[in-house]
Amino acid sequence: MVFSGAAFLFYFLPLALALNALAPGRWKNAALFLCSLVFYAWGEPVYVLLLLFSSVADYLCGLLAESQRGRTGAKWALGLSLFVNLSLLGAFKYAGLFVSSFNTLTGLQLPVPQLRLPIGISFYTFQTMSYTIDVYRGRVRAQRDFIAFAAFVSMFPQLVAGPIVRYSDIENSLLDRRATLRDYSDGAWRFTVGLSKKLLLANAAGQAFENIRQTAFSDLGAAAAWLGIVCFFFQIYFDFSGYSDMAVGLGRMLGFTFPENFDHPYASTSVTEFWRRWHMSLSAWFRDYVYIPLGGNRKGLKRQILNLLITWLLTGLWHGAGWNFALWGLYYFAFLALEKLWLGKRLQRAPRAVGWAYTLLVTLVGWTLFAFDSAREGGQYLLRMFAGAPLLSGGFLYRFRSLWPLLPLMALAASPLPARLWGMCAKRMGEKAAGALRLLAMAALLLLSIASVASGGYDPFLYFRF
């Protein structure tokens, strides 16, 4: 949400929340839809029409799929919805990759499309596809109120960075919702925590990684390379989980309960567990709409491995239009398959520290493939980490001295320990004292976040490309 400008954010959110609170019940969806269009138009004025087109197409396909259930027309409606959504993704996200790859393979010089990626297109197309699939399967009723459906598609808290919210998650809230004082209190706290993760932790880690990344590979020592990828390891977690926290908090203040998207993934003791804790809404989407329809684990081990391969290749490409992302997906497929075939049971018998160290190493190497724009750059960086580079370079000690106070803080913040300690303290203090302490903490975090924005420092939006 910071992508749209800090000043806009601080003006827009209070107005949007006030409008939602003041709107009568039957006008709340219209108010939410209007706010969402304004929010999206601030960042992507041209592609508002694309968002509206997607909403209209899937709204009509949902109505047709329900009215024709059990007949051929329902399949045509579902097929049309999938065609529209996948065509949008193909045209705006993957056309350049496929044309440039075709040119490389054939030696032709076809013009490579240079379309700008619409913000959040991967999120809202997946949401609308899940809606039409669920209507076709009879799991949800088609929404007949277009404004309510469009509010679901364009909902500004999670439009640009997730979590992926299915229609069934919020169907009842679209019909009738109200936010209590407790909802506003808990939602504001969750939003503030997410904002702080993004501005105070993710940006600091990202700036450190960017400084190391800009070092010529020939001058990059192994220790500095490892330090850089540790910084990216924290950056991507606090960036994405921070945005998810902000979305969940804003949703709570608007009267919605969005699904959780992260559950301390860096505490995992296997890659399988990691993907149950990281970007949980995406993992669940691919499980329910790709892996299980392909047959899941119901058709024998060989078919299960094939289904995993397809699912993780698509998962990698979902994250970005580059073959390094496909390689990243295949990398995780290899470890997930290995754990299913052999390693998983051994990790369960091993000490937790062994499983955690193994998962940490796999994740760090995986983020190296993810962090760079091409597989070639990622491969060169991996070489500096593992071979062909001196251990220490001239700038390592300077970088480490500037980062060492921050790294333990980020490690602590990424662990389950703070939440556990807060739960214990709140129980001992009592509800009123805990509430007052949380209010003070929220004020302090907001002031620090505002100061960070005012400083005009490093502030990228990692998930813009998704």
Model confidence pLDDT, tens digit, residues 226-276: 999 999 999 999 999 999 999 999 999 999 999 999 999 999 999 999 999
The span from the CA of 60 to the CA of 256, in Å, is 25
Confidence of residue 1 (pLDDT cuts 50, 70, 90): very low
Mean pLDDT of all residues in the chain?
89
Higher confidence at residue 375 or residue 131?
131
Q: What is the pLDDT of residue 393?
A: 67
Q: What is the pLDDT of residue 384?
A: 86
pLDDT in tens, 128-180: 999 999 999 999 999 999 999 999 999 999 887 779 999 999 999 998 888 88
Percent of the chain with pLDDT over 90: 56
Closest to 272 measured CA to CA, from 365, 358, 163: 358
Please indicate whether residue 264 is annotated as part of the active site.
Answer: no
- The active-site residue, picked from 93, 190, 279, 319, is 319
**Whole-prediction pTM:** 0.92
Which of 80-94, 288-302, 332-346, 373-387 shows the lowest per-residue confidence on average (mean pLDDT)?
Answer: 373-387
pLDDT in tens, 415-463: 999 888 888 888 888 888 888 888 999 999 999 988 887 776 676 766 6
The yes-or-no verdict on residue 329 having pLDDT over 90 is yes
**How far is Cα of residue 340 from the mean position of the Cα atoms in its chain?**
26
Confidence of residue 96 (pLDDT cuts 50, 70, 90): confident
The span from the CA of 109 to the CA of 99, in Å, is 9
pLDDT in tens, 341-352: 999 899 999 999
Cα–Cα distances in angstroms (integers) from residue 41 to residues 52, 67, 160, 379, in the given order: 12, 34, 12, 38
Percent of the chain with pLDDT over 70: 95
In the numeric block, the tokens 């004292």 are attached to 433
Cα–Cα distances in angstroms (integers) from residue 73 to residues 54, 149, 456, in the given order: 20, 21, 54
Q: What is the pLDDT of residue 188?
A: 94
Instruction: Tell me the three-class secondary structure of the chain, residue by residue.
Output: CHHHCHHHHHHHHHHHHHHHHHCCHHHHHHHHHHHHHHHHHHHCCCCHHHHHHHHHHHHHHHHHHHHCCCCHHHHHHHHHHHHHHHHHHHHHHHHHHHHHHHHHHHCCCCCCCCCCCCCCHHHHHHHHHHHHHHHHHCCCCCCCCHHHHHHHHHCCCCCCCCCCCCHHHHHHHHHCCCCCHHHHHHHHHHHHHHHHHHHHHHHHHHHHHHHHHCCCHHHCCHHHHHHHHHHHHHHHHHHHHHHHHHHHHHHHHHCCCCCCCCCCHHHCCCHHHHHHHCCHHHHHHHHHHHHCCCCCCCCCHHHHHHHHHHHHHHHHHHHCCCHHHHHHHHHHHHHHHHHHHHHHHHHHHCCHHHHHHHHHHHHHHHHHHHHCCCHHHHHHHHHHHHCCCCCCCCCHHHHHHHHCCHHHHHHHHCCCHHHHHHHHHHHHHCHHHHHHHHHHHHHHHHHHHHHHHHHCCCCCCHHHHC
Question: Sign of dihedral through CA atoms 452, 454, 460, 464?
Answer: positive
CA diameter of the chain: 71
In the numeric block, the tokens 């669920």 are attached to 134
Contact 163, 130 (CB under 8 A): no
